[in-house]
Amino acid sequence: MLAAKQCFRLNSMRCLSTSAMRQSKLISSSLSVDDRTGIATLELNRPPVNSLNQPLLQEISTVLTDLGKNKSKGLILTSSSPSVFSAGLDILEMYKPDPEKAKLFWTTLQEVWLKLYGSSFPTAAAISGHAPAGGCLLALCCEYRVMCPKLTIGLNETRLGIVAPVWFQSSMRNVISVRDTEKALTLGTMFSTDEALKIGLIDEVAADKQDAIKRCEEFLLQFSKVSFDARAITKKNLRGKDLAELENNREGDLQTFLFFLNQPKVQKGLELYLQSLKTKKSS
Ligand code: CO8
């Protein structure tokens, strides 16, 4: 059973304790289900910045499998941090990588993307903190995004001297125009909440996290009037081409990632970026 501290409880909410959850305890996230609505909330909880390392990605992947099997009423993805939704991929997983660990890390990320972007159940992100790079990717995979004021969101990979894979790109292109996607990705733009709303990268601005969760719930509850299967197939048809592109080329995508990762220039870029984060902190 999940330990009490691993479980995010609100009024009328209960921990989900299905078989998969029992088998793999959640350490860096917590899952709850609203008894009234059946909507699940997955809260990322890996201080300080919810960076996505392999174990956290594995937890997300397990939860997504479980919700899919249970024909969930919907998922809200959020964060326990007051300031960060997710800082994206854990740079330490990519800096001076161990080859086997890097392989597992990337294949787990692929799985998360395939399951979240292609989920049969509806999804929404309550973005209550900054969402750079992989954090933005998680939000983009969802069908609806509600963000709190004065935050930033974007796929900033080019600013780190790295290239966002094609499936990162298609996740953004599925949400905003091709023109805006090209500009955002080539510049590595981090959008403010207001800018993100203006280009449609997010759907609504909420006053605070609670309000963001409420608005996500309202979005998801609309599907109670719609056939689960009809909805799921429609979504799959719309996203199927993007999903197939990765599904049919997982090994090639992995090799591309490993090739890039082993470039001295990429490693230098990651080192400098890590240093800049530390310098920012000390100044
Ligand atoms: N990975 C690992 N550690 C991180 C990350 C990260 N992504 N982000 C921050 N940290 C660390 C910092 O180094 C710092 O460590 P320490 O406490 O040891 O000094 C700690 O977390 C706290 O960071 P901050 O002081 O910066 O926290 P703030 O609350 O001030 O700021 C931010 C939070 C805004 C999230 C800020 O930390 C930030 O901008 N982080 C970097 C975000 C980013 O650019 N992520 C990109 C990751 S790459 C990715 O997701 C896609 C890669 C695609 C694949 C490419 C193929 C080659």
pLDDT one-digit tens code per residue, 180-198: 999 999 999 999 999 999 9
Q: Which residues pair with 79 in a beta bridge?
A: 44
Mean pLDDT across the stretch 11-30?
Answer: 60
Dump pLDDT digits (tens) for 55-78. 999 999 999 999 999 999 999 999
Q: Smallest Cα–Cα separation from 193: which of 181, 202, 180?
A: 202
Mean pLDDT across the stretch 196-204?
Answer: 98
Q: Kindly give the distance from the C-alpha atom of residue 228 to the centroid of ligand 1, in angstroms, as a whole number.
A: 37
Q: Look at the block and give the residue holding tokens 């996203």.
A: 239
Give the CB-side neighbour count of residue 165, counting CA atoms within 13 A. 23
The dihedral through the CA atoms of 85, 240, 65, 41 has a sign that is: positive
**pLDDT-derived band of residue 160, with 50, 70 and 90 as boundaries?**
confident
**Strand 123-127 to 145-147 pairing:** parallel
Residues forming the active site: 89, 134, 156-157
Q: Kindly give the distance from the C-alpha atom of residue 50 to the centroid of ligand 1, in angstroms, as a whole number.
A: 9
Q: Look at the block and give the residue holding tokens 């929404």.
A: 124
Q: What is the mean pLDDT of the chain?
A: 92
**49 near 98, Cβ under 8 Å?**
no
pLDDT given at position 25: 82
Ligand 1 atom at minimal distance to the Cα of residue 89: 50
Among protein residues, the one with the nearest Cα to ligand 1's atom 8 is 87
The first and second tokens of residue 75, run together, are 């998922």
Q: Is the peptide bond before 48 cis (omega within 30 degrees of 0)?
A: yes
Q: Kindly give the distance from the C-alpha atom of residue 154 to the centroid of ligand 1, in angstroms, as a whole number.
A: 13
Q: Kindly give the distance from the C-alpha atom of residue 43 to the centroid of ligand 1, in angstroms, as a whole number.
A: 18
Cβ < 6 A, ligand 1 pocket: 48-49, 51, 83-84, 87-92, 130, 132-134, 156-157, 162, 164, 257, 260-261, 274, 277-278, 280-281
pLDDT given at position 100: 97
Let me know how long the chain is.
283
Q: Smallest Cα–Cα separation from 40: which of 55, 22, 60, 58?
A: 60
Pocket test for ligand 1, best of 28, 44, 49 (most atoms within 8 A of CB): 49
Q: DSSP secondary-structure letter at 87?
A: -
- The answer, yes or no, to whether residue 13 has pLDDT greater than 70, is no
The C-alpha torsion from 79 through 116 and 40 to 48, rounded to 10°, is: -20
| Whole-number Å distance between alpha carbons of 208 and 257 | 37
Ligand 1 atom at minimal distance to the Cα of residue 278: 19
pLDDT given at position 14: 53
| Whole-number Å distance between alpha carbons of 89 and 5 | 25
Q: Kindly give the distance from the C-alpha atom of residue 219 to the centroid of ligand 1, in angstroms, as a whole number.
A: 30
pLDDT given at position 3: 35
Higher pLDDT among residues 80 and 14, named by residue: 80
Among protein residues, the one with the nearest Cα to ligand 1's atom 54 is 164
Give the CB-side neighbour count of residue 231, counting CA atoms within 13 A. 18
Domain 13-282 = CATH 1.10.3720.10: no
